[in-house]
Structure 1
Amino acid sequence: MKNKRMKIARVEMDLSQEQLAELVGITRQTIGLIELGKYNPSLNLCIAICKALGKTLNDLFWEE
Structure 2
Amino acid sequence: MENRVEQLRKERGLNQEEFAKAIRVSRQTVSSIENGKYNPSLELAFIISDFFKKPIEEIFIR
Question: For the superposition of Structure 1 and Structure 2, which TM-score range results when normalised by the shorter chain?
Answer: 0.7 to 0.9
- TM-score normalised per structure 1: 0.85
Aligned CA-pair RMSD: 1.3
Distance (Å, rounded) in 2 between the aligned partners of 1:53 and 1:14: 12
Distance (Å, rounded) in 1 between the aligned partners of 2:2 and 2:40: 13
Identify unmatched segments of 5+ residues in structure 1.
Answer: none
1:28 deviation in Å? 0.4
Single out whichever of 30-39 and 46-55 deviates more from structure 2: 46-55
Aligned length: 62
Structure 1 runs of 4+ with >3 Å offset: none
Residues 4-57 of structure 1 show CA distances to partners (whole Å, capped at 9, x for unaligned) of x11111100111111111111100000000000001110000111111122210
Mapping for residues 1-64 of structure 1, pairs under 5 Å: 1-3=1-3, 5-63=4-62
Distance (Å, rounded) in 2 between the aligned partners of 1:55 and 1:9: 10
Identical pairs, percent = 40
Q: Indicate if the aligned counterparts of 1:20 and 1:52 stay in contact, CA closer than 8 A.
A: no
Of structures 1 and 2, the one scoring higher in RCO (CA 8 A, sep 6+) is 2
